[in-house]
């Protein structure tokens, strides 16, 4: 018997509120209407994918003091969309990004337990830790959290959430009509936690979901973020989608596991990746070039360089040369609500000027070049080869596929690349279990806890 | 949206006189359908309902059970179904214990239903108005205009200690905060004008940012910058439901509510409660015709009165205590309930009822299969949904956006 192939795990990312998403195409649909979410989730389930994924941002991005209007703006609330999708899908995992700074553990634990119950064990929580005062202005607690404390709070929020999920036994609901005991005696226990970031006491309200705990994703990249992932997460959502960077990141994060008593395959690493298909390599390259130009419009290119220059550059022609004016070091944070920030713009500007001069690039050419990240471009066979190669050679455990069009952007990948991965035995042809933990090959938390006890004892 | 054909009553002379009088008092006219909601909390309004046969006590948290209940209510063309919620576990020893998050339940039920309104209870004491606003907006988007928010507040230590932001608030304070939160949530819904999304490829602009508004709320209890991250919901503002029982909650209802639930055991009590709510609306500068008042009606139904009484006796035996409802409680036949509903409505005592089936598995079905047809035959209840949104069903206009109006 041959050893089983390492299996690829795949999720779909609903098109983001950023420049990856092209909205100017005639067939680009609504980012709000439920039919868009339903389309992508059902297509992904038809292709037997592991999960559907939603990002989150709790303040509309602003640029030069006004709402940034060049990308898609606006999205519905993460968890109600996933709960609604539970009604129109049966097996696919439902992963939602929820911030740990601007939410309380009691409420989060109920929401995720509810989603897990309503979906029959398909809930996942992507924990993010943004804690800036700009976003905090939308919340009663404000931006009170120092950057250094973001993972301390996240850790405590998760610890309390887990205690709350564990405070109900799996079989706590007895519903014994004869005796009138609705809950099994002793099966629901009080929780008490008094910490720096969470102070919680009481009897939890919500039954434990089929998964025990929802699957936990984490998407931080700093050393602290990687430690947090190794300690806490089941899945890391990474941005390292090139082969070499992927392998380095994979080794780094998986290397943190043994010291924590965790098996290497108990944590899946899934980079975000875009895919552009074509009938030939040249055809795909040409399509990718067209998409890149759609993603970086003229005004979008100017706004991008303004972020680095820290000043208004709207008088410049995006198809002309780079601004000769120097960056304004004081004005470096004219864009707010983005994840990316540049510490000192001067070396970046110098490097970009050299690049543009060497290649004869306009502003827009430069922005296209410097914002192009990994991503698979080619025929379906080539892309299937690449995905499998990354996974078999430990540059990832699979991918989160990011489309550029709403909601049809992944129809081609799901329809052509996935069957090729199935043919070669690297991707399931049928769901084997009912829960997202089953799809990802993750143990139920009770099994994990007893394994940890065995190690400790 | 098709205009509603008003079902006309063939009222007797005394009834017509009462109706005319009631109309002069600002009561609902006979030309509109009465409004009926149903409460789908737990296994029914009676705490022992889960123990009776057919009530599926062990399946209480199964979404398929909820789908079936909503389908039943929708078959009866009810205005809305409501789900209660709280941050603390039910304290009673023998009733249902455990709750799902009501907002997520409403969202889960939306894609498999149509016509019927989905009312989620969300607390204002321990939540963030920003999150509450986008959750409800999203339920409204996924249901295409059928969401409503039942505002609740908590004064219990059990909920406070789950958050420990501060000690439990007293009632006046909690209601004052609910008022502030409801105001801010409404303005967050308005923070996107309806036509803010322009997708103007020529200029590269996805939105017209002059149609996105900071709400800039700076209150004593919280501050919220805005705008919302979620575009304005299909109904503009999903209806706000308030349970009014005393001066403070009546005042809140008058200021903020589209639908007000009151307790009353007689038509006179109902009329007084309704008048108090509409007065409060007037005091708040609103048109009282924009408010629907529903009386909570607890119902135990059976083919004859004795059988209904026996059903209640069984529930009381199981629970071991008398059932105290504090509002209209009908233990009897569907025909008599229909007569009561029609009678109270026709004398202008109420705009309708929020039905609290003692047992969902038995009483909701009887409401839909027996009470609703009787009301339709009497010409007081709709025979089809007038539109697709809850506001249309309630006969409430889509609100003007406060930011667009001031622009
Ligand atoms: C691939 C990826 C996706 C992310 N998606 C989100 C998101 O949807 N919402 C959000 O608030 N933050 C998001 N983040 C930000 C992270 O959660 C985290 O707050 C940020 O990376 C700072 O943490 P760090 O310093 O450990 O990197 C994402 C980060 C990565 C790497």
List B322's β-bridge partners, or say none.
Answer: none
Helix axes A363-371, A281-295, angle to 10 degrees: 110
Q: What is the ipTM of this complex?
A: 0.96
- Does residue A345 surpass a pLDDT of 90? no
% of chain A at pLDDT higher than 70: 95
| pLDDT tens, residue by residue, B257-310 | 999 999 999 999 999 999 999 999 999 999 999 999 999 999 999 999 999 999
CA of residue A270 to ligand 1 center, whole Å: 14
Helix (H) or strand (E) run with residue A87 in it? helix A78-88
Q: Kindly state the tokens that stand for B170.
A: 């007293």
Chain A residues inside the 8 Å CB shell of B57: 175, 177, 182
Residue A199: HSE in the Cβ half-sphere, 13 Å Cα cutoff: 7
Spatial distance between the Cα atoms of B224 and B238, rounded to a whole number of angstroms: 20
Determine the average pLDDT of the residues in A219-229: 91
Residue A339 has pLDDT above 70, yes or no: no
Ligand 1 atom closest to the Cα of residue A224 is: 26
Nearest atom (ligand 1) to Cα of A58: 11
Ligand 1: list residues with CB < 6 Å: A 55-57, 97, 99, 128-130, 219-222, 224-225, 237-239, 272, 339
| CA of A229 vs chain B CAs: smallest distance (Å) | 26
pLDDT tens-digit series, residues A173-183: 999 999 999 99
What pLDDT sits at residue B211?
97
**Chain A positions in Cβ-Cβ contact with residue B206 (cut-off 8 Å):** 23, 69-73
pLDDT of residue A422: 98
Assess if residue B7 is contained within a domain: no
Give me the phi and psi of A412, to 5 degrees please.
-70, -40
Number of domains forming the structure of chain B: 1
Q: Is B357 left (phi over 0), alpha (psi -120 to 50) or beta?
A: beta
- Asked if residue B298 is part of any domain, the answer here is yes
**If residue A42 lies in a helix (H) or strand (E), which one and from where to where?**
helix A34-46
Residue B282 maps to a domain: yes
Is B131 in contact with A103 (Cβ distance < 8 A)? yes
B232 within some domain: yes
CATH of the domain at B66: 3.20.20.30
Please give, rounded to a whole number of angstroms, the shortest distance from the CA of A7 to a CA of chain B. 32
Show residues of chain A in contact with B104, CB under 8 Å: 79-80, 83, 111, 114-115, 118
Coil vs helix vs strand at B375: helix
How far, in Å, from the CA of A292 to the mean position of ligand 1? 23
The answer, yes or no, to whether residue A204 has pLDDT greater than 70, is yes
| Shortest CA gap A387–chain B (Å) | 34
Q: Are B112 and B68 in contact (CB under 8 A)?
A: no
pLDDT band, very low/low/confident/very high, at A236 (cuts 50, 70, 90): very high
pLDDT at site A340: 53
Taking CB atoms within 8 Å and a gap of at least 24, the contacts of A372-376 are A372/A292, A373/A239, A373/A241, A373/A242, A374/A240, A374/A241, A374/A242, A374/A245, A374/A271, A374/A273, A375/A241, A375/A273, A375/A274, A375/A275, A375/A276, A375/A288, A376/A273, A376/A274, A376/A275, A376/A276
Q: How far is CA B324 from the centre of its chain?
A: 21
Residue of A nearest to B165 (CA): A199
Going by DSSP bridges, is the β-strand pair B217-218/A268-273 parallel, antiparallel, or unpaired?
unpaired
Q: Identify the H or E element spanning A307.
A: helix A298-309
Determine the Cα angle at A242 with ends A240 and A248, to 5°: 60
Could you give the domains of chain A? 9-278+379-453 (3.20.20.30), 284-371 (no CATH)
Mean pLDDT for all residues in chain B: 92
Q: How confident is the model at residue A456 (pLDDT cuts 50, 70, 90)?
A: low
B5 within a domain of the structure (yes/no): no
Partner residues linked to A272 by β-bridges: A400
- For residues A223-242, average pLDDT: 95
The pLDDT of A134-163, averaged and rounded, is: 89
How buried is residue B301: exposed, middle or buried, by Cβ count under 10 Å (0-12/13-18/19+)? buried
Burial class for B246, CB neighbours closer than 10 Å (0-12, 13-18, 19+): exposed
> Is residue B95 in some structural domain?
yes
Query: By the 8 A CB rule, do B236 and B389 touch?
Result: no
User: Best of A219, A249, A269, A271 to mutate for ligand 1, by most ligand atoms within 8 A of CB?
Assistant: A219
Task: Tell me which of A130, A227, A228, A337 to substitute to probe ligand 1's pocket, judged by most ligand atoms within 8 Å of the beta carbon.
Answer: A130
Residues of chain B where predicted confidence (pLDDT) is lower than 50 = 1-30, 407
pLDDT digits (tens, 9 = 90+) for A68-94: 999 999 999 999 999 999 999 999 999
Burial string for A300-338 (b: 16+ CB within 10 Å, else e) reads bbbbbbbbbbbbebeebebeeebbeeebeeeebebbbbe
**Cβ–Cβ < 8 Å for B400, B107:** no
A152: phi then psi, degrees, rounded to nearest 5: -65, -45
Rounded (10°) angle between helices B102-109 and B63-75: 60
On the question of pLDDT at A1 being above 60, the answer is no
pLDDT of residue B11: 34
| Beta bridge mates, B357 | B299
Contacts of A300 in chain B (CB under 8 A): 204
pLDDT of residue B318: 93
Nearest residue to B45 (alpha-carbon basis) of B315, B339, B371, B367: B315
| CB-CB neighbours of B195 under 10 Å | 11
Distance CA A236, CA A216 (A): 9
Cα of A269 vs its chain's centroid, Å:
11
Predicted confidence at residue A372, as pLDDT, reads 87
A70/B95 CB distance under 8 A: no
Confidence of residue A454 (pLDDT cuts 50, 70, 90): low
User: What's the Cα-to-Cα distance from A89 to each of A76, A125, B136, rounded to whole Å?
Assistant: 19, 18, 22
Pick from A15-29, A317-331, B132-146 the range whose average pLDDT is largest.
B132-146
Annotate B281-329 with DSSP letters as a single string: HHHTT--GGG-EEEEEEEEEE-SSHHHHHHHHHHHHHHHSS----SSEE
Once rounded to an integer, what is the mean pLDDT over residues A110-134? 95
Within-domain flag for B206: yes
Query: Pairing state of beta strands A66-67 and A62-63?
Result: antiparallel
pLDDT higher than 90, residue A427: yes
Q: Is pLDDT above 50 for A240?
A: yes
Give dist(CA B236, CA B87) in Å, integer: 28
Residue B66 lies in a domain: yes
What's the average model confidence in pLDDT over A375-402? 98
Owning domain of residue B261: 15-396
């Amino acid at each position: 018997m041959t050893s089983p192939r390492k299996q690829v795990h795949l999720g779909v990312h609903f098109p983001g509120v950023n420049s990856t998403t092209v909205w100017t195409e005639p067939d680009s649909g609504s980012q709000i209407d439920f039919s868009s979410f339903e389309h992508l989730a059902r297509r992904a389930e038809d292709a037997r994918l592991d999960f559907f994924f939603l990002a989150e941002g709790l303040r509309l991005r602003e640029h030069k003091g006004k709402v940034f209007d060049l990308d898609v703006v606006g999205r519905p609330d993460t968890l109600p969309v996933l709960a609604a999708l539970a009604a129109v899908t049966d097996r696919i995992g439902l992963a939602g990004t929820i911030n740990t700074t601007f939410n309380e553990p009691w409420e989060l634990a109920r929401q995720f337990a509810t989603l897990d119950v309503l979906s029959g064990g398909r809930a996942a929580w992507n924990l993010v830790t943004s804690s800036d005062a700009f976003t905090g202005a939308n919340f009663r607690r404000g931006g009170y959290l120092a950057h250094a404390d973001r993972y301390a709070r996240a850790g405590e929020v998760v610890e309390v959430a887990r205690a709350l999920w564990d405070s109900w036994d799996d079989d706590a609901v007895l519903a014994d009509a004869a005796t009138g005991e609705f809950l099994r005696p002793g099966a629901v226990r009080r929780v008490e936690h008094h910490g720096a970031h969470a102070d919680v006491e009481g009897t939890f309200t919500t039954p434990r979901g089929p998964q025990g705990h929802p699957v936990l994703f984490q998407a931080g990249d700093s050393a602290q973020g990687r430690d947090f992932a190794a300690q806490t997460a089941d899945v890391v959502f990474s941005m390292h989608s090139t082969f070499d960077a992927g392998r380095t990141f994979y080794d780094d994060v998986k290397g943190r596991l043994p010291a924590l008593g965790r098996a290497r395959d108990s944590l899946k690493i899934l980079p975000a990746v875009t895919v552009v298909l074509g009938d030939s390599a040249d055809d795909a390259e040409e399509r990718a070039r067209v998409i890149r130009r759609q993603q970086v419009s003229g005004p979008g290119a100017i706004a991008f360089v303004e972020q680095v220059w820290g000043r208004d550059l709207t008088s410049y022609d995006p198809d002309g040369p780079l601004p000769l004016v120097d960056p304004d070091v004081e004005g470096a944070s004219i864009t707010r609500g983005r994840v990316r920030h540049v510490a000192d713009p001067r070396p970046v500007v110098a490097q970009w000027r050299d690049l543009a001069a060497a290649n004869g690039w306009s502003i827009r050419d430069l922005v296209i070049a410097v914002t192009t990240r990994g991503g698979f471009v080619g025929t379906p066979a080539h892309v299937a080869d690449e995905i499998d190669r990354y996974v078999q050679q430990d540059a990832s455990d699979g991918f989160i596929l990011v489309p550029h069009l709403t909601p049809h952007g992944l129809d081609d990948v799901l329809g052509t690349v996935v069957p090729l991965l199935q043919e070669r035995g690297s991707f399931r042809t049928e769901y084997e279990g009912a829960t997202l933990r089953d799809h990802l090959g993750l143990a139920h938390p009770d099994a994990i806890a007893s394994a940890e006890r065995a190690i400790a004892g | 949206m098709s205009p509603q054909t008003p079902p006309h009553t063939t009222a007797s002379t005394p009834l017509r006189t009462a109706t005319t009088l009631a109309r002069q008092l600002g009561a609902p006219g006979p030309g509109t359908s009465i409004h009926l909601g149903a409460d789908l909390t737990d296994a029914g309004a009676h705490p022992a309902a889960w123990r009776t046969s057919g009530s599926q006590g062990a399946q209480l948290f199964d979404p398929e059970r909820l789908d079936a209940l909503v389908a039943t209510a929708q078959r009866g063309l009810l205005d809305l179904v409501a789900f209660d919620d709280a941050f603390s576990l039910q304290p009673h020893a023998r009733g249902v214990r455990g709750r799902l998050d009501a907002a997520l339940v409403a969202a889960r039920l939306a894609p498999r239903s149509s016509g019927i309104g989905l009312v989620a209870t969300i607390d204002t004491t321990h939540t963030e108005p920003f999150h509450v606003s986008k959750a409800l907006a999203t339920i409204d988007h996924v249901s295409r205009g059928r969401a409503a928010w039942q505002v609740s507040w908590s004064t219990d230590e059990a909920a406070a200690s789950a958050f420990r932001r501060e000690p439990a608030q007293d009632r006046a304070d909690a209601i004052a905060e609910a008022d502030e939160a409801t105001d801010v949530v409404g303005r967050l819904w308005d923070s996107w004008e309806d036509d803010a999304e322009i997708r103007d490829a020529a200029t590269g602009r996805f939105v017209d940012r002059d149609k996105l508004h900071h709400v800039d709320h700076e209150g004593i209890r919280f501050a919220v910058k805005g705008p919302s991250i979620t575009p304005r919901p299909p109904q503009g503002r999903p209806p706000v439901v308030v349970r009014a029982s005393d001066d403070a909650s009546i005042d809140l209802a008058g200021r903020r509510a589209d639908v007000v639930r009151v307790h009353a055991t007689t038509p006179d009590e109902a009329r007084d409660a309704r008048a108090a709510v509409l007065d409060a609306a007037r005091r708040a500068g609103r048109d009282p015709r924009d408010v629907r008042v529903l009386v909570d009606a607890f119902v135990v139904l059976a083919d004859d009165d004795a059988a209904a009484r026996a059903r209640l006796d069984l529930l009381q035996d199981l629970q071991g205590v008398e059932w105290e409802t504090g509002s209209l409680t009908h233990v009897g036949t569907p025909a008599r309930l229909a007569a009561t509903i029609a009678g109270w409505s026709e004398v202008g005592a109420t705009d309708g009822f929020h039905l609290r089936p003692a047992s969902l598995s038995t009483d909701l079905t009887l409401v839909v299969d027996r009470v609703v047809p009787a009301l339709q035959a009497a010409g007081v209840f709709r025979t089809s949904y007038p539109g697709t949104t809850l506001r249309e069903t309630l006969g409430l206009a889509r609100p003007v956006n406060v930011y667009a109006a001031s622009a």
